[in-house]
Amino acid sequence: MHRTWKTALTTLAAAGLLLGGAATAASAGSPDGTSSEHELSASESAAVPAGTLPGSPPCKATLGNLLATYKHGKWAKLEIYWDNAHKTNCAYLRHGPKVPDGQHETYVLLFTCKTSTKGKPCKAIKYDPPRYDYDGGPYTTYAGKVSVKAAGKCIFARGAVKAGGEWRRIDSLGRKGLKDPKGNHCG
């Protein structure tokens, strides 16, 4: 099923990203800090083919392209890749061994920062492909692949899985929870 732009914009709005930045206040109800009544239904958050928004660039996620892995204990693993041939970064959020079998709300987002300095605050260049990508929904093993054009810039990624009654979040600096985006994997 193809995601429509209306659904994609709904997803972005729910992620708190259309108005200039990622959410910074956590909520027990959703991955992005919004209240639980703003959570998307399974039909609204269904993945598009390849797990990326329409217009997202190609990216090879192979072992040789793996840049970094960030873990939230045994709950979740965020994988960041660099595909030199396409000058793109891509990411997955994989469920860890503590996540029970079955479907769990899971998401991964990735965007290109305006900055090219590691550790500096990261504001997205824009919230559309090829500089932003998001995948989320009720998944059994992972969310993604998401990909962005990022040559010469930093990226920021965050992923989460709702398991054990709470959101298990991890970002591309290895931080748990909802933290202000900061650039990493610059170049």
The DSSP output letter for 33 is S
Q: For 111-127, how does the pLDDT look when each residue is reduced to its tens digit (9 = 90+)?
A: 999 999 999 999 999 89
The SS3 of residue 50 is: helix
| 68 bridge partner residues | 80
pLDDT range class, residue 53, cuts 50, 70, 90: confident
pLDDT at residue number 79? 97
Please name the residues in contact with 67: beta carbons below 8 A apart, sequence gap of 6 or more.
80, 81, 82, 89, 185
Q: For 60-110, how does the pLDDT look when each residue is reduced to its tens digit (9 = 90+)?
A: 899 989 999 999 999 999 999 999 999 999 999 999 999 999 999 999 999
Q: How far apart are CA 39 and CA 112, in angstroms?
A: 25
